[in-house]
């Protein structure tokens, strides 16, 4: 009887219609909301962590980096777990792990414990996101992918939008550990919904071996890279010998990564199916999503520092600015998703890239005389640009893949974004700290602001270059 009942729960994705399908969608949306909310809610608190635990911006940046790096590990495991086990137990394990991270964060007595808590939460997030996207692509037909992903994007962005505001309020009115505590009730609700509504979709029909060599080598590579980046001196770029040494080590990391890539391409069951990049649409959509993520992540890191440290304003203002930008991004994503289903992502992607790149240049210009209202306007422009460029192009990229490999495609897309953004953020924090100190020594009182300004200009150039990738996307799905 028990075996029969369990067997009845292992439904085919094609049999999910009507209410059961909506219940699955609601569960996945709430799970994504918890993870995204927690991610964004802590960003306004980075200066608070720096003050409470007496650490510098480089250490403070690891609140973001630990989450992103450990999420990469979760993404490494997601493709294998998705094919090896049923969906529900994997998702349940991830959500419970996220709750464990929240408890550790609440009890943290040092910056190290905060970073460990974020690492556990990142690992859980790395498991849930690609599996959720893979399931959505399985239970909905292709002609509805744009609208479903638009809904996914709206909910996720809304949680990202309100996260900074709620986080700033909690920090201002209570204390930093409430940022972890606030996610526990929602996580518990998601756990119950997963147990109640999600069928065991995802059980494999064939055995899949785990690419141990690929996993260990990439993990060691990431840890070695992060260790090296964390030991960089803040003035490494001002000394010729330091520049040469840094360049040589960077070249070694690049070559070793290329060796790993070649190894994965020739594996029958690789850790990451890098052969998916032979699909031109998927490749260029991933390039766009990576660069758009750079803009988002750097903004999440630098905006709180700009508003609270440079301008001397309340953390609530950081929350208001980020909330406004993300709300506009979610609204734009809704309309963009509908348009993608009919007209493709090329034109709307190009327009979004132009807007998001222009917002970076405007942010650099704004820093000459920063004003809160001007920051709100510029960040809103960036939100509209991201809403047009990010999710629509990513949706088209996933739709170009076969349904059975969408989860692998989502994992590869996400880890590409996480690794590149982690490296970039680490370099940004080192540069801002070093360049700020250098300018301060010359008597420039706006030293940190000028260093941030230079970062925004570099980002604008990177974003503008991705117009070439947008031109490679199809005009219609």
Looking at 20-29, 49-58, 225-234, 243-252, which range is the least confident one? Answer: 225-234
Going by pLDDT thresholds of 50, 70 and 90, the confidence category of residue 202 is low
pLDDT at 8 > cutoff 50: no
Q: Let me know: does 230 contact 236? Beta carbons within 8 Å.
A: no
Rg of the chain, C-alpha, whole Å: 22
Going by pLDDT thresholds of 50, 70 and 90, the confidence category of residue 449 is low
Could you report the per-residue pLDDT of 372-395, keeping only the tens digit for each?
Answer: 888 888 888 888 888 888 878 888
Residue 345: closest CA among 333, 356, 355, 330: 333
Residue 269 burial (CB count, 10 A): 15
Average pLDDT score over residue span 128-137: 78
How much is the pLDDT for 462?
Answer: 92
How much is the pLDDT for 3?
Answer: 39
Going by pLDDT thresholds of 50, 70 and 90, the confidence category of residue 440 is low
Answer yes or no: CATH 1.20.1250.20 is held by domain 16-470.
yes
Distance of alpha carbon 233 from alpha carbon 437, whole angstroms: 12
DSSP states of 148-208: HHHHHHHHHHHHHHHHHHHHHHHHHHS-TTHHHHTTHHHHHHHHHHHHHH---TT--SS--
Could you report the per-residue pLDDT of 315-360, keeping only the tens digit for each?
Answer: 677 777 777 777 787 778 777 766 776 677 788 888 889 998 998 8
Identify the DSSP state of 133. H
Looking at 143-147, 218-222, 279-283, which range is the least confident one? Answer: 143-147
Q: Helices 145-173 and 18-41 meet at what angle, rounded to 10? A: 40
For 404, the token pair is 């059975």
Distance of alpha carbon 243 from alpha carbon 239, whole angstroms: 6
pLDDT at 4 > cutoff 60: no
Could you report the per-residue pLDDT of 235-276, keeping only the tens digit for each?
Answer: 555 566 666 777 788 788 888 888 888 888 887 777 778 888
H helix count then E strand count, the chain: 19, 0
Phi, psi (rounded to 5 degrees) for 28:
-65, -35
pLDDT at 445 > cutoff 70: no
């Amino acid at each position: 009887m028990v075996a029969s009942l369990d067997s009845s729960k292992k439904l085919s994705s094609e049999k999910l219609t009507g209410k059961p399908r909506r219940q699955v969608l609601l569960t996945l949306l709430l799970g994504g909301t918890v993870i995204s909310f927690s991610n964004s809610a802590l960003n306004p608190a980075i200066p608070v962590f720096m003050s409470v635990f007496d650490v510098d911006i480089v250490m403070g940046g690891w609140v973001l980096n630990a989450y992103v790096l450990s999420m990469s590990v979760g993404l490494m495991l997601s493709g294998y777990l998705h094919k090896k086990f049923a969906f529900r137990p994997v998702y349940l394990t991830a959500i419970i792990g996220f709750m464990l991270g929240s408890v550790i964060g609440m009890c943290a007595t040092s910056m190290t414990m905060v970073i460990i808590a974020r690492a556990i939460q990142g690992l859980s997030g790395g498991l849930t996101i690609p599996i959720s996207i893979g399931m959505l692509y399985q239970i909905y037909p292709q002609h509805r992918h744009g609208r479903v992903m638009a809904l996914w994007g709206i909910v996720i962005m809304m949680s990202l939008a309100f996260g900074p505001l709620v986080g700033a309020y909690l920090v201002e009115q209570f204390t930093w550990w409430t940022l972890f505590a606030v996610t526990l009730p929602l996580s518990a609700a998601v756990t119950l919904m997963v147990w109640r509504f999600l069928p065991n979709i995802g059980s494999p029909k064939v055995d899949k071996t785990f690419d141990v060599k690929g996993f260990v080598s990439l993990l060691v590579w990431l840890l070695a890279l992060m260790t090296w980046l964390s030991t960089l001196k803040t003035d490494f770029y001002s000394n010729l010998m330091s520049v040469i040494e840094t360049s040589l080590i960077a070249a070694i990391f690049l070559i070793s990564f290329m060796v790993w890539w070649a190894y994965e391409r020739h594996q029958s069951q690789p850790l990451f199916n890098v052969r998916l990049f032979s699909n031109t649409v998927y490749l260029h959509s991933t390039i766009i999503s990576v660069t758009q993520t750079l803009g988002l992540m750097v903004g999440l890191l630098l905006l709180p520092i700009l508003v609270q440290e440079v301008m001397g304003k309340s953390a609530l203002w950081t929350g208001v600015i980020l909330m406004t930008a993300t709300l506009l991004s979610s609204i734009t994503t809704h309309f963009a998703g509908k348009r993608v289903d009919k007209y493709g992502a090329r034109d709307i992607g190009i327009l979004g890239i132009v807007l998001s790149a222009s917002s970076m240049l405007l942010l650099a210009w704004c820093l000459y005389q920063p004003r809160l209202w001007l920051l709100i306007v510029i960040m809103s422009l960036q939100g509209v640009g991201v809403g047009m460029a990010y999710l629509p192009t990513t949706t088209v990229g996933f739709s170009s893949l076969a349904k059975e490999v969408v989860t692998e495609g989502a994992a590869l897309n996400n880890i590409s974004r996480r690794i590149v953004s982690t490296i970039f953020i680490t370099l940004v924090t080192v540069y801002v700290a070093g360049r700020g100190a250098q300018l301060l020594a010359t008597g420039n009182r706006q030293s940190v602001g000028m260093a941030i300004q230079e970062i925004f200009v570099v980002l604008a150039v990177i974003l503008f270059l991705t117009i070439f990738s947008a031109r490679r996307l199809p005009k219609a799905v």
